[in-house]
């Protein structure tokens, strides 16, 4: 028995397949996306990141353009900063692929072009945060923010005091540079679609609050030293202290 013509039947089959694919991919996205909700038995995860290798003197940056604005005082590479007790600063600490937990907190973030450097050199925030890109210098800077394989934006800031605001919706590790001849200018921004991230302070300390009980991968990233990770098991209400060592 034939309800439809041959063509109609083919179309129907095609539609069914497409709908199935669409549903499947929707489910896949839902499963991966972060869902905020009440956290029961959440615990703090604190820790310290250490660097035990020899600390080289920071390299002096070669200021080859616009010295009258960029300043004549020597500038140094900011990537490797080791504080008291071998504590390693500027390490991004985050829980990998966490899919539920407390709500995201979005704040306002700023990235200033000041004396031909990006301030701050490294920052982390949640998606939905509004980033204000600012030029405090009188020269042209452009703030070019990239993910590994795509541009996030590339804004020109020709005017002193100019501010461009942009709501950051994509997650990932972003590299910041200025193409206007200031080859030494560089910064990093880590954007997360969940709230479980931190940046180690000058003594290498970090803390993550209200982590739901469970098993996770705790990830570490440092601009020069690369990535590291350790297993993290959170028991209900039991705060813990960790140490991560870079050699």
Partner 1 sequence: MPPFLADEQRNYKIIFMILSVSLALAAVWAFFDEDVTRRPWKQWQRLYAQLLDHGADQVAVAQLVVPELQVVDRCTTCHAGIDNPAMVGGNHKVLQVHPQRDTLLKHHPSLQFGCTPCHRGQGLALTEGTAHGPGDPHWLEPLLRGPYVQASCLGCHAATEHLAGAEILAKGKQLFTELGCAGCHAIGPEAPPRRGPSLVHVAQKLLPGYMVTWIANPEKRRARYQMPQFWPKAATDPSEATRRDREVLAIAAYLLEKSEAWPMASAATAVAGERAALGKALFDQVGCRGCHALGGGRDTVRIAEPKAAGSGDAWADFGGNDAPGDASPVALAAAATIDFAPPLGEVASRLQPGFIANWLRDPSQYWREARMPTPRLVEGETLYIQSYLHSVATLPVPPTPAALATPRDPKLVEQGLKLITVYGCAGCHEIPGFATDARPGPDLADYGSKDPRDMLQPTPPPPRHQRTWERATEAKLLAPQALSAGTIKLVMPDYGLQPEQVQALAVFLRGLRSQTIPAAYRAEPAGGQARLQAENLIQERGCQQCHQLRGLNGAILRYYEQAHLAPPSLDVAGKRLQPQWMFSYLLEPAPVRPWLQVRMPQFRFTPAEAENVTAWLAENAGKAGGLRPMPIHAVSPQRAEMGAHLFERLKCVTCHRLVRGDGVETAQLAPDLGLARQRLDPAWVRNFIEDPGKVLPGTKMPQFFPDGQSPTPDVLGGNVAAQMELLVDYLMNLGLLPVGAEPPAPVRKGAP
Question: By CB under 8 A, which span of 55-63, 80-88, 115-123, 161-169 interacts with partner 1?
Answer: 161-169
The entry of partner 1, Cu ion, none near residue 93 (CB within 5 to 8 angstroms by kind) is none
The entry of partner 1, Cu ion, none near residue 159 (CB within 5 to 8 angstroms by kind) is partner 1
The entry of partner 1, Cu ion, none near residue 151 (CB within 5 to 8 angstroms by kind) is partner 1
Quick one: residue 214, left, alpha or beta (phi over 0 = left, psi -120 to 50 = alpha)? left
Longest dimension (CA), the chain: 88
Contact between 54 and partner 1 by CB under 8 A: the answer reads no
- Report, in Å, the least distance between residue 221 CB and Cu ion: 25
Beta bridge partners of 19: none
Among 46, 121, 166, 205, contact with partner 1 (rule: CB under 8 A): 166
Q: How far apart are CA 76 and CA 59, in angstroms?
A: 6
Contact between 46 and partner 1 by CB under 8 A: the answer reads no
Contact between 190 and partner 1 by CB under 8 A: the answer reads yes
Element (H, E) at 145: strand 141-147
Element (H, E) at 28: helix 6-32
Binding site for Cu ion (CB under 5 A): 141, 178, 180, 182
Q: Is 92 exposed, middle or buried (0-12, 13-18, 19+ CB in 10 A)?
A: buried
Taking the CB of residue 26, how many other CB atoms lie within 10 A of it? 10
Taking the CB of residue 188, how many other CB atoms lie within 10 A of it? 22
Which CB, 206 or 221, lies closer to partner 1? 221
Which parts of 211-230 interact with partner 1 (CB under 8 A)?
221, 226-227
Contact between 99 and partner 1 by CB under 8 A: the answer reads no
Coil vs helix vs strand at 54: coil
Using CB under 8 A as the criterion, which residues of the chain lie in contact with partner 1 when the complex forms?
6, 65, 96-97, 139-140, 142-144, 147-151, 153-159, 162, 164, 166, 170-173, 175, 179-181, 190-191, 221, 226-227
């Amino acid at each position: 028995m034939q309800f439809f013509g041959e063509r109609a039947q083919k179309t129907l089959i095609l539609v069914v397949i497409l709908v199935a694919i669409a549903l499947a991919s929707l489910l896949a996205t839902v499963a991966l996306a972060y869902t905020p909700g009440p956290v029961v038995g959440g615990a703090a995860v604190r820790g310290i990141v250490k660097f035990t290798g020899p600390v080289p003197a920071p390299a002096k940056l070669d200021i080859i353009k616009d010295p009258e604005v960029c300043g004549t005082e020597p500038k140094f590479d900011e990537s490797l900063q080791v504080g008291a007790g071998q504590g390693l600063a500027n390490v991004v600490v985050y829980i990998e692929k966490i899919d539920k937990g407390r709500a995201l907190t979005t704040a306002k973030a700023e990235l200033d072009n000041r004396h031909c450097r990006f301030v701050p050199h490294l920052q982390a925030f949640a998606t939905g945060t509004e980033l204000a890109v600012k030029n405090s210098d009188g020269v042209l800077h452009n703030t070019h923010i990239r993910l590994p394989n795509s541009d996030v934006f590339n804004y020109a800031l020709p005017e002193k005091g100019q501010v461009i605001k942009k709501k950051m919706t994509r997650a990932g590790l972003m590299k910041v540079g200025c193409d206007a001849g200031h080859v030494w200018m560089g910064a990093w921004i880590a954007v997360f679609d969940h709230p479980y991230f931190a940046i180690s302070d000058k003594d290498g300390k970090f803390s993550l609050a209200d982590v739901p009980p469970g098993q996770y991968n705790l990830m570490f990233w440092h601009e020069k030293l690369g990535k590291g990770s350790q297993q993290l098991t959170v028991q209900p209400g039991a705060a813990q202290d960790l140490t991560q060592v870079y050699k």
